[in-house]
Structure 1
Amino acid sequence: METTASASRHISTHIDRPVREVYDYASSPSNLPEWAHGLGGSINRIDGQWIAESSPMGRVVVAFVQKNELGVLDHDVTLPSGEIVYNPVRVIADGAGCEVVFTLRRRAGMSDEDFQRDADAVLADLTTLKRVMEGA
């Protein structure tokens, strides 16, 4: 089934590490290949842009918001088609640890199956981030 309705899904994980430590690590594009496999196995800074050549979507450009004290990790991913996908992400203090929340938005014309596949990929990436940060 294909839908044009706008929908969002919040996907999160708790990480037993200080919020600042997780934010500092996750906000560095050079660390993405270690935990965000949806962007491929490498990312390089070329002409001032972070480019992932080998993502499952092809060559993509990733642009994060400026580092900040609020835990905002929002980033745009420019697909090979030129479409820009906005990805809201927050690192929120939770006791001695933190919660990382990724808001997945359904793109126009995206099927339920594709939306679920994207949600599964985001959850896998957040699970990997948790494992990397907790040293498991």
Structure 2
Amino acid sequence: MTDVLHISVTIRRRHDEVYEFARDARNLPRWAAGLAQSEVRPDGDAWLADAPFGAVRVKFAEHNSFGVLDHDVTLESGVTVHNPMRVLRRGDASEFVFTLFRQPGMSDDDFERDRAAVAADLQTLKRLLDPSTP
């Protein structure tokens, strides 16, 4: 299996609207169950959340006009995982792309579970923001 996957979804909504919604960490519990299962709390320039795998600290890239939503997730162990994420302009719609890297020592089954969780989160985001989604 590969060590990196680009998981994406088309959202029929303007790039800036998708970006602003996804960048607001208070919205994470609404669409990113793999990262935030309850209300997130501010922590300086970052956010604290309860993930399925424990408490995490999430820090997004600075606000920008390029759709870059990269974020670092610091685990309870102190390990920080960098997650590249982008909202790309696609006419009147957007392409939302999450880059998933296999973590050191991760089995194929665990990597597949991560892929499925990210894909499910992106589908939830699409259902929330895309008026054409049933």
Deviations 1:36-70 (A, max 9, x none): 01122221113553000x31111100000011000
Deviations 1:87-118 (A, max 9, x none): 00010011210100000000000000000000
1:45 aligns with 2:78: no
What is the alpha-carbon distance in structure 1 between the residues aligned to residue 65 and residue 42 of structure 2?
A: 24
Between Structure 1 and Structure 2, how many residues are aligned?
A: 131
What CA RMSD, in Å, does the superposition of the two structures yield over aligned residues?
A: 1.5
Shift of 1:72: 0.1
1:86 aligns with 2:82: yes
Amino acid in structure 2 at the alignment position of 1:98: S
Is contact 1:57-1:80 (8 Å) kept? no
Structure 2: state its 5+ residue gaps.
none
Task: Give TM-score, length-normalised by structure 1.
Answer: 0.91
What is the alpha-carbon distance in structure 2 between the residues aligned to residue 43 and residue 113 of structure 1?
A: 29
Structure 1: state its 5+ residue gaps.
none
Q: Name the structure 2 match of 1:16.
A: 12
Is contact 1:13-1:99 (8 Å) kept? yes
Query: 1:1-136 to 2 correspondence within 5 Å?
Result: 7-39=3-35, 40-52=37-49, 54-135=50-131, 136=133
Identity of aligned residues (%): 49
Amino acid in structure 1 at the alignment position of 2:107: S
What is the alpha-carbon distance in structure 2 between the residues aligned to residue 114 and residue 97 of structure 1?
A: 32
